[in-house]
Amino acid sequence: MSVLDKITQLQEEALERIGKADSLDSLNDIQIAYLGRKGLITSVLKSLKDLPNDQRKEVGASANKARAALDNLIKEKKENFSGGKKLSAFDPTLPGTQTQSGVVHIITQVIEDICNTFHGMGFEIARGPNVETDYYNFEALNFPPDHPARDMQDTMFVEHDRLLRTHTTPVQSRFLETHKPPIKIITPGICFRNEAISTRSHVAFHQVDGFVVDEGVTMADMKGAILAFCKAFFSEDVKLKFRPSFFPFTEPSAEVDISCFLCSGKGCRVCKYAGWLEILGCGMIDPNVLEKAGIDSERYTGYAFGMGVERPAMLKYKINDIRLFFNNDTRFLRQFK
């Protein structure tokens, strides 16, 4: 049998099998058997190099023609199938296929809850770039070059003086340069730090910073705003404690702890068995920060605070591992419709 006769025979066999095919699976099997990488028609094309030069052109044209005809016929036949079953006509009485609907990510929901709570206290929202300059991320916030406080944040640099912002506080620097007091702003967004991933920390996290600048602003105003937020966001029975701390851009500074909701203060691995979880840092804005932005620190004072979003979310919804927020497991995410 000549090679041309073999091509004709293979084509007829394939046409017969295609005509009898009654499902997508059977059509796929035929396609693989004849047109796949090791298919019968494909093998003929691969064997052209072994034929005499005067036969290659004719045999190649015949094999390609057969291949194209079979491929088009299989595609056409596939259009008549759905789910492995042949459709004779559309039946409007059949029940419809339920569409999987997405949900707003739990972190997005918590950010909206935090912003809405502060919005009720008169705060407006401001945003800034994720890729920041060293000046706004550090220097404008009272982090001089080579200052030891820079080691508090494991920074991921992009190029030269550009970096992935380590907090959303740089938005404060930018906003103070272009606006005059009174100012009352919150700044939600994502931040990045080169940290080990664990149940409590991640290289990417979300933060909401807030700051107020006006005449006569005191630390009592700050404590009142933070207490009002915690009571509204968590519960009226929430317990807080303020601990002295240090931040280059605030003086005096404090950290705020909240009783652990996961263990009711008894101690667990999330709160490191202390019964308390730090939820935010705060303090009075350092006069140097105001002066760098062109604001008279003798006339105006202000306070600032910053909180991660993941930790309040873990507390509020009793989630014991921060990594669950980033795993994209729909079984976990659909719980928060």
153 pLDDT tier (thresholds 50, 70, 90): low
Q: In the prediction, which pLDDT does 90 show?
A: 62
How does pLDDT run across 155-189, given as a tens digit for each residue?
Answer: 888 888 899 999 999 999 999 999 999 999 999 99
Architecture of domain 106-336: 2-Layer Sandwich (3.30)
Q: Does the pLDDT of residue 269 top 90, yes or no?
A: no
Domain ranges in the chain?
A: 3-86, 106-336
The more confidently predicted of residues 283 and 152 is 283
* Buried b or exposed e, range 16-44, using 16+ CB within 10 angstroms: ebbeebeebebbeebbebbbeeebbbeeb
Decide the pairing of beta strands 183-192 and 124-125: parallel
Distance CA(263)–CA(157), nearest Å, equals 38
Q: In the prediction, which pLDDT does 73 show?
A: 86
DSSP secondary structure letter of residue 273: T
How does pLDDT run across 104-115, given as a tens digit for each residue?
Answer: 899 999 999 999
How does pLDDT run across 325-336, given as a tens digit for each residue?
Answer: 888 888 888 888
Report which of 169, 190, 200, 194 is spatially closest to residue 293, judged by C-alpha positions: 169
Q: Does the pLDDT of residue 302 top 70, yes or no?
A: yes
Q: In the prediction, which pLDDT does 81 show?
A: 67
pTM: 0.65
Q: In the prediction, which pLDDT does 84 show?
A: 47
Q: Does the pLDDT of residue 88 top 70, yes or no?
A: no
Q: Does the pLDDT of residue 85 top 60, yes or no?
A: no
The more confidently predicted of residues 297 and 200 is 297
Decide the pairing of beta strands 250-259 and 240-247: antiparallel
Identify whether the C-beta of residue 207 lies closer than 8 Å to the C-beta of residue 167: yes
How does pLDDT run across 205-259, given as a tens digit for each residue?
Answer: 999 999 999 999 999 999 999 999 998 988 888 889 999 999 989 999 999 998 8
Q: In the prediction, which pLDDT does 87 show?
A: 46
Identify whether the C-beta of residue 290 lies closer than 8 Å to the C-beta of residue 300: yes
How does pLDDT run across 311-327, given as a tens digit for each residue?
Answer: 888 877 888 888 888 88
Q: In the prediction, which pLDDT does 44 show?
A: 80
Query: Where in 26-136 does DSSP place strands (E)?
Result: 81-82, 85-86, 124-125, 131-133
